[in-house]
Amino acid sequence: MKTIEWIDNQLKLIDQRKIPDELTYVYCTNYQEVIEAIDNMTVRGAPAIGVAAAFAMALAFINNDDLKKAADEIKSSRPTAINLFWAVDRVYNSDNPLEEALNIYNEDIETNIAIGNFGSKIIEDGDTILTHCNAGALACVEYGTALGVIRSAFNEGKDINVICDETRPRGQGARLSVWELQEEGIPVKLIPDVASGYLMSIDKIDKIVIGADRIAKGGVVNKIGSLLVALSAKYFDIPFYVAAPLSTFDMNNSVFDTEIEERSADEVTHYGGCRICPENTEVINPAFDIVPKELITGIITEDGIIDPI
């Protein structure tokens, strides 16, 4: 399953807003349509956003648009995931934008397989692994980072079980991660976000593996709720790993200087199109939080497992 494909000078994207109810696609023929797909979360997940942004630049090149203007607009679509900025700059500074976008696309697949192979070494036969949000094939071109680790362990024949928390407010764990794992026959259970600490306290979780949207000096930025999972893991002495490509690293800045995206109040006040709180309720809806490096056991990359920076 490929989340992103380049076909006949069009960018084909799985519409992740429709999963698990239906598998449908969106086709983008200009960079503005890719920006819309990134903004409305048709495509999401740091590596996938980066690849989509690269092809947005390729579309701007093919359509003879102003590349500097396109780069600035694409970068403004979502401020937190570093892969987007990395991909845009790499394509902008290349001699052949389309060729460079295709290189980024192919590298993403190879990178995630390498992450999976390195990460599978931390998974033991009989482990139950908790993952937060969706860092699977749907967050990349294919295969995945955190779920790539789980896939590799499962494909090696290890007897494992996975627990996905729902990941409010958009439910990426419930809608996307559970769907991916069920599609591949990997044993999985869904829990409410608020249940993970309890399960750790009764020895029902052996390892935790999540993805990342940005890794910088001092820690990791990931989907909101990651910090609470990490704090519980630290208290109950459960290994907490982050799986992410090197393109997610921002070596020049502190993680605590990251701009945290604030999303629409509707994501919190409504679920499945139904309002779940009183009208005119004020909302705070950060899309990400920061996990300090002291809470992280290791970071799984395509070059191996390293300490947090």
Q: Give catalytic residue positions.
A: 213
Distance CA 145, CA 111 (A): 9
User: Could you tell me which residues are beta bridge partners of residue 28?
Assistant: 11
Q: Is the distance from CB of 150 to CB of 143 less than 8 angstroms?
A: no
Element (H, E) at 85: helix 82-92
3-state secondary structure of 64: coil
Q: Give CA separation, 166 vs 23, 173, 305, in Å.
A: 20, 5, 27
Question: What angle is formed at CA 108 by the lines to CA 3 and CA 81, rounded to 5 degrees?
Answer: 80
- In 3-state terms, what secondary structure has residue 31? helix
- Interior/surface letters 16-42, b for 16+ CB within 10 angstroms, e for the rest: bbebeeeeeebebebbbbbbebbeebb
Burial class (CB in 10 A: 0-12, 13-18, 19+), 233: buried
Q: Are strands 288-292 and 298-301 parallel, antiparallel or unpaired?
A: unpaired
- Say which residues have a Cβ less than 8 Å from residue 41's Cβ, sequence separation at least 6: 16, 17, 170
At 209, which helix (H) or strand (E)? strand 207-210
- 307 in Cβ contact with 299 (< 8 Å): yes
Q: How far is CA 30 from the centre of its chain?
A: 24
